Amino acid sequence: MNPTYPFSAVVGLADLKLALVLNAVSSRVGGVLVRGEKGTAKSTIVRALAAQLPQVAVVAGCRFHCDPGAPDPGCPDGPHEPDAAGAMRAASLVELPVGASEDRLVGSLDLERALTEGVKAFEPGLLAAAHRGVLYVDEVNLLHDHLVDLLLDAAALGVCYVERETVSIRHAARFLLVGTMNPEEGELRPQLLDRFGLTVEVRATREPDERAEVVRRRFAFDADPEGFAAHWAAEEAALAGRIARARAALGSVRLPDSRLRQITAVCAGFEVDGLRADLVTAHAAVAHAAWQGRDVVTREDVRVAARLALPHRRRRDPFDAPGLDERLLDELLDQTEPAAPEDPEHPEGPEDPDDSGGPGSSPGRPEGPGDSGGSGAGTGAGDGAPEGAPEGTPSAPEGSGSATGPDDRTQDVAAVGAPFRVPVLKVAGVGAGVAGRRSSGRGRQGRTIGARVPTGAGPAAIDLPATLLAAAPYQLPRGRRGPGLILKREDLREPIREGREGNLVLFVVDASGSMGARRRMTAVKTAVLSLLLDAYQRRDKVGLVVFRGADATVALPPTSSVEAGAARLRTLPTGGRTPLAEGLATAADVLRVERLRDPDRRPLLVVVTDGRATSGGDVTRAAAALAGVTSVVVDCESGPVRLGMAHALALRLGARVLPLESLGDLVRDRRKAS
Ligand SMILES: [Zn+2]
């Protein structure tokens, strides 16, 4: 097997390296969620870290990686003898593919064999394989909610439970969880975000020299992996040693009460919900102190920990910018700084050039990690508040209010108001799309509504009562004389389940002058934003077609990123004539392409207009091209005299009509409800 790319050789990405190292030092930090664009070597660096983890002793032959010193008493391969033979092996790195089934994740009991052969066979899943190692989930935001729940439960409890019809199995599953996601492709729900210990934003460096160094090293590695690894062996060994020392020292790091109060004050200051943030910050601060060779947690440890532990826990809209307000962080730290230094022998502050950066090479010096050097005086470590920051100048945290937004610069860009709850719009009938929260759908999740002879190669799941019923009539012909049931393969039945599917919600928005004054367009934008937010919560794909002036444009091609949709909406200009037919024709084009790309995902068309076509082609013909698509027309007509054009359009589309005002009448306080 080729050597993995050395951790020390990774250029930049200081926060990510530091977050991974803190998790390697302390298992209580709770994993890392890596957010960022594609092509930032996220998986390379995770693999590199796994190679840095100390080897583990395992009971020979145990598929659940029991520690010979302390085997899992419930191990399905156990019980192990106290003197069971052990073997050393590298900490595992397991990748969970996005399309994995529940069985693949938690393991499976072979019910088919159990029923037909009477054998109890449990096939361990990926959680068992990852025990005492690293579990890596690329694109965790695309994983089905149900799997994310299972995954995070196991990560939190350190135990994997497998429940099947009549059998339950449990085994230990403790691992360092690393998830990555590209926020452009859709967000994780806040309650799932909260369950990752730390988050890091990564983006490839924009610094040409650094980029060149990345490429140079990649070339060198690809040309001669062995030689490259050998070149970095000393740095890697030093890093592994430092991790091991920090692990050993972890238990003796002191977290003074004054520092703990500082942590809780910072968490409260950022308005995080619950206490998980405080716990994770405390664990991360202790781990960072151990990593820096300190035996007492300092302000710098708290600062680093808060910067990594809090960004995803702030109470926020899904459309807020990521990251943490570092100025506020420093203010909070200043306000809660204990009066007397706790450890006069070790004055606080950077003792180490990479104190606030990561392990390994700092961006400025691509030539090596130089961890213990301590020469380059505090590069970038003091970018926080100046030492003697004047006290009692509380500045308002975060930009308050946006009554006069930057939108005022452009005449014809209406602002967007606060989103509100909208009624659930559903696609008619039962689909077979990906699991979600909108329309009825058949899939692997949901409640059982019947049973059938397996349609695939084998049963995806077994419906036990239906299987027994299928076997019952044949017991005598099959020669049954005593009690035991005689089952054959052809008796097996699988459940038919019905749940909810996600859809493609395509918005077709009239941004023409006929939509009236700016205030009206604000109401329209707010309604569309509310519908977008609803789509986000229901795991839909969304797309946005806008028509105004001479033609229609696809402002947002179908995507799972609702943020992108919200951003397009904010800057959407209005005015001009109303080419309604072009809007509908463009929508039909988008749906045709999407049907090829994602055939099982059923569309829901939401046309937001007053229905008044003032230019362009034949609306009747354009509407005919959308026959069979479940549609809703949001009627934006206002004023004392109404033409009812939106109703006419709805008739042509076979659509339901919702007056714009009816959307807004609903609960305005989304936060209160959630
Ligand atoms: Zn075992």
Specify the pLDDT at position 119: 60
Tell me how far the alpha carbon of residue 160 lies from the centroid of ligand 1, in angstroms. Answer: 13
∠ CA 421-424-430, nearest 5°, is 160
Distances (CA, A) of 37 to 13, 362, 584: 13, 21, 33
Give residue for tokens 């909810």: 500
Ligand 1 centroid distance, CA of 171 (Å): 8
Annotated catalytic, 276? yes
User: What parts of the chain have a pLDDT lower than 70?
Assistant: 1, 111-120, 164-167, 190-191, 315-323, 340-412, 419-420, 443-447, 456-460, 516-519, 639-642, 664-674
pLDDT of residue 347: 46
What is the spatial distance between Cα 93 and Cα 465, in angstroms, rounded to a whole number?
39
Cross-strand partners of 507: 544, 606
Residue-level pLDDT at 373: 36
Closest CA to 405 of 397, 415, 395: 415
Ligand 1 center to 489 CA (angstroms)? 32
The Å distance, Cα 109 to ligand 1 centre, comes to 17
Distance 86 CA to ligand 1 centre (A): 11
C-beta atoms surrounding 399 within 10 Å = 7
Three-state secondary structure of 237-270: HHHHHHHHHHHHHHHHCECCHHHHHHHHHHHHHC
Q: Other CB atoms closer than 10 Å to residue 396's CB: what's the count?
A: 8
**Going by C-beta distance under 8 Å and a sequence separation of 6 or more, which residues neighbour residue 330?**
303, 384, 385, 389
Which DSSP category does 398 fall into?
A: S
pLDDT digits (tens, 9 = 90+) for 174-229: 999 999 988 777 777 766 787 789 999 888 878 889 889 999 999 999 999 999 99
pLDDT of residue 226: 94
Contact 591/627 with Cβ under 8 angstroms?
no
Q: Residues 67-101: pLDDT tens digits?
A: 888 888 888 887 888 777 888 988 899 999 887 88
Question: Which one from 28, 170, 189, 276 is the annotated catalytic residue?
Answer: 276
**What pLDDT was estimated at residue 443?**
66
Whole-angstrom Cα distance, residue 506 to residue 590?
A: 9
Rounded CA separation 517/329 (Å): 42
pTM of the complete model: 0.60
pLDDT of residue 252: 94
